[in-house]
Amino acid sequence: MRNSTSVPEFQFIQLSEVPDLQPVLFGLFFSMYILALFGNLIIILTVSSDSHLHTPMYFFLFNLSIVDIGFISTTVPRLIVDIQTHFQVISFVGCLTQMSFFIIFASMDDILLAVMAYDRFVAICHPLYYQVIMNPSRCGVLLLGSFLLSLAELLMYYAAILNFSNCEEFIEISNFFCDPSEVLKLAHFDPVTNTIFRFSIATLFGLLPMSGIIFSYFKIVFSIIRSSSSSGKHRTFSTCGSHLSIVCLFYGTGVGVYFSSFLSHSPLNNAVASVMYTVVTPMLNPFLYSLRNKDIKNSLRKILNRAL
C-alpha cells in the first residue's frame, strides 16, 4: 500500500478559508465534541449504575454510546487541531489509521441500530419469549457479530486499495478527514469498478441493516394496530420513539452524504454534509434518548438525588 519510491501525504480541505471564521469554527467543533462526550458518558454512567437498566435494550444503548464516542473522536479532535494550527496534512499511515477507525465505528453504529430494532421487535411482538430469545449470551453474540461485520467491511476497503500508487508528494482529499470513499477514488480504479464497489458496500452495510429495521418496525406497527389497549399502544410508541429518532437522524444524514458525493461536484459541500453525519449525529443521539426515554430520565433523577 505504498509507492515504490515515496510515501505520499494527504492534505484535507479547509471548511473555511476566511481567517475571521477560524476561531468560530474552533469554538463550534470543540463545544460539539465536549457536548457529545458529556451526553454519551451520561448514558454510559446511567445504564451502568442502575440495575433496573441492565436489560438487553439498554445493554445495546450502552454500547452504542461507546461507539458514538469512538466515532466522533476519530475525526473531530484532528479537525480541531487542524483549525488551530492551520496545518491540514496527514501522513499515509495516519490517514489509513483514521480511515480504519472511522469504518469500524460507523459500521458498528449502523449494525447496532439494526440490532436494537430487532430487540424492540422481539420485546413487542414476542413478549413471552423475550427473556429466552434475548438472553445475555445472545446479546453478546450480536455485539460481537456487529464488530466482526465492521471488521469485514474494513478488510474489503483494504483489499480494494492494495494497489494504491501515486507519484504526487501531496494528495488532496476532498473532505476534512480521511473519508473512505475519497481514499477509494485515489486508488486509481476505473469509474465503473469504483461505482460497483461503493454500491456493494452501501448494499451490504447500509441497505441490509436498514431493511432489517424497516421489517422490524413493520411488524411492530402491525402488532400495535392489533392491540386493543390504548395504554399499551402509548407505551410501545414511547419505547420505540427514541430509537426511531436516532435511526432517522443517522440514516437521513448518511444517505444525504452518500448521494451528495455523487450529485455534488463541490468538495466543500461534501465536507459540510459529512459534518452532519460524523459530528451532529453522535452528539444528538444521547440527548434524543435521555429526553424521550422515561426510564433514562428516572435513573438520572435518582443519580442526581444521591449526588446531592
**Homologous superfamily assigned to 9-307:** Rhodopsin 7-helix transmembrane proteins (1.20.1070.10)
- In angstroms, rounded to a whole number, what is the distance separating the alpha carbons of residues 150 and 156? 10
Dig out the grid coordinates for 96 from the structure: 489509513
pTM of the model: 0.89
Answer for the pair 116, 33: CB distance below 8 angstroms, yes or no: no
Dig out the grid coordinates for 290 from the structure: 435521555
Give 9's strand partners: 91, 170
192: which residues sit within 8 A by CB, 6+ positions away?
Answer: none
Helix, strand, coil % in the chain, rounded to nearest 5: 80, 5, 15
- The maximal CA–CA distance of the chain, rounded, in angstroms, is 72
Dig out the grid coordinates for 77 from the structure: 479532535
Per-domain residue ranges of the chain: 9-307
DSSP H or E run through 284: helix 281-292
pLDDT in tens, the chain (308 residues): 444 445 678 888 888 777 788 889 999 999 999 999 999 999 999 999 888 889 999 999 999 999 999 999 999 999 999 888 888 888 888 988 999 999 999 999 999 999 999 999 998 888 889 999 999 999 999 999 999 999 999 999 888 887 665 556 667 888 889 888 888 877 766 777 777 888 888 888 888 999 999 999 998 888 887 765 665 566 666 667 778 888 888 888 777 766 666 666 667 777 777 888 888 889 988 888 776 677 888 888 888 887 76
Answer for the pair 174, 271: CB distance below 8 angstroms, yes or no: yes
